[in-house]
Amino acid sequence: MNYSIFYAQFKQKNSTTYNHKRDKKMLLAIDIGNSHTVLGLFNHDQLLGQWRFQSDRNRTEDELAIQCHGLFSLIGVDCGEISHCILASVVPTLEKVWVFWCTKYLAAHLAQPLQVVTAKWIKQHLSIRTEHPEEVGVDRLVNSIAAWQKHQCNLVVIDFGTAITFDCVRACGEFIGGLILPGINISLTALSAGTAKLPPIDLSVGPDKVIGTNTIQAMKSGILHGYGALVDGLIQRILAEMAVSQETCKVIATGGMAHLIAPYSEAIHEIDPTLTLTGLHFLSTHCRNAGKEAIRVADPRNDPGANNG
């Protein structure tokens, strides 16, 4: 199992102190992406734990149970303490397995059925001004609503995931569309696979300068400075089309690769690694008392749908 995110605070707190400060009404937020799945465990407004692991399409609900039990146990949480669960997915096959896991291992403890995010649900909180709202990936909409609820200004949200998405939100709370382009890992894989002498590279240490004096440095500079310049150039064009200024529009970066590109971009104002989880927390909290028509209740007998892009 490949777990790449752990908060240091969990290493510093013993389970007695942790248990003393929480109740048994916690929210589990699940963000299923093409490359990684991220779990967030909330106690009211506090994010207690966040975990990222590979999105394995061959994993069963029983394997997920073992994995989640181990992760929750590390911070002293039992599945029986989870009272609400919300899921956003862009991978239909994985969504189905997570729904089965929730039904089999969580449903008996939940105060209401698993909530699965759809564009129709989000439209109650964010106006979606695109030609086909149902085609917009729910991860993009969740990010947008989280950013707008926090800042309530003109926004561009950049998610550095398997694909890189630019999502544009007006100050009035309108999602007006965006851009989608190949992610960093896709570009790196294509570069190495499609050439005879360009090796895979590690981007954790950046280049010393823009002009590389060896192959590795040239590749690092091309990716990091290249994507940074790409971000800056696209932001200029987006702001011009939105007819807003840099002073009145906030650019927020999120996603697993955001921290790599942000230092090479002048346009990014803020990195928010928990933006999607924050959006899921908002949706779950504000929709718990809504009617059934406001949410999609997962039914494991049917294949769950998901939006892509």
**pLDDT tens digits, one per residue of 245-255:** 999 999 999 99
Residues in CB range of 119: below 8 A, 6 or more apart: 128, 133, 134, 136, 138, 141, 307
Architecture of domain 128-273: 2-Layer Sandwich (3.30)
Compute CA distances 53 → 9, 43, 56, whole Å: 19, 22, 9
Scan for tokens 């799945």, then name that residue: 37
Do 8-119+290-297 and 128-273 come out as alike in CATH topology? yes
∠ Cα 123 171 242 (to 5°): 100
**pLDDT tens digits, one per residue of 225-251:** 999 999 999 999 999 999 999 999 999
Q: What is the pTM assigned to this prediction?
A: 0.85
Residues in CB range of 227: below 8 A, 6 or more apart: 164, 184, 261, 264, 265
3-state secondary structure of 182: strand
Determine the pLDDT at residue 25.
82
Asked: is 8-119+290-297 a CATH 3.30.470.20 domain? The reply is no
Query: Domain locations in the chain?
Result: 8-119+290-297, 128-273
Q: For residue 261, give the nearest of 156, 159, 140, 137 by alpha carbon.
A: 159
pLDDT greater than 90 at residue 96? yes
Q: Which amino acid is at 288?
A: R
Mean pLDDT of the chain: 87
Q: Token digits for 144?
A: 């947008």
pLDDT greater than 80 at residue 38? yes
Determine the pLDDT at residue 18.
43
Catalytic (active-site) positions: 139
Determine the pLDDT at residue 24.
65
